Amino acid sequence: MKNLIKNLSHESLWVRTGYAFMFFFTFLALAYAFGFLFLPEGIMKELPLPSVMIFEEKESLLSSFTKTLVYNLFMLGLIVGMNHYRVRSFTLGYLPLYANTVMMGLFAGTNSFSGGISAYTMEGWLLFLQIGFLEFSAYIFACVATVNLAMFHAERWRREKFRKIRRFKEVKLSKYELLFLLVSLILLVVAAFNEWRYI
């Protein structure tokens, strides 16, 4: 397991991406199965999550598009910001990414999404591909692209302060990493438009 996790910080961008998507699908499937098998249907509809609260009412294209995009850019910024911190070989940007993945799986597994479309139907899965999957792909691309931004390092999870290992001026991204960031932004724009269009 440790070797698998280490590959999330592999020097090759393509290897990091492959493993990041593998963990995404694994966590999503496990959370979906847990929600489906062990939790009551619709139990998570009342949770006061920001991503749910800001999309409760039908709105104009501009308002809905802007809210969706701002929220997703916030998540993207959180992931990239946390990638400045690393424990051993694990950059912390993966934590909000996979925490969101588990929440998505639980919402789908308990059929708790608003909008009247069941997560148990083909229509629900097609909607996920056009919105949720694009958003999470954007998160993943941004996360794997900024793994090398780490400026603060610790060898232990507890009882050790982060130490600065380089200055901000020394942080650089490759052209492929910059391309991944651009792709992630494009995916978020498309997902925001689709969310207004279909929901």
pLDDT category at 118 given cuts 50, 70, 90 is confident
Q: What number is the average pLDDT over the span 144-151? A: 94
Sequence ranges of the domains in the chain: 2-39+69-198
Instruction: Give kind and range of the element (H or E) at residue 20.
Output: helix 13-38
Own/partner contacts of 16-23, CB < 8 Å, gap of 24 or more, are 16/144, 16/147, 17/140, 17/141, 17/144, 17/180, 20/94, 20/97, 20/140, 20/143, 20/144, 21/140, 23/94, 23/98
pLDDT category at 54 given cuts 50, 70, 90 is very low
> pTM (2 decimals)?
0.90
Using one digit for the tens of pLDDT, what is the confidence trace for 154-176?
A: 999 988 999 999 888 888 899 99
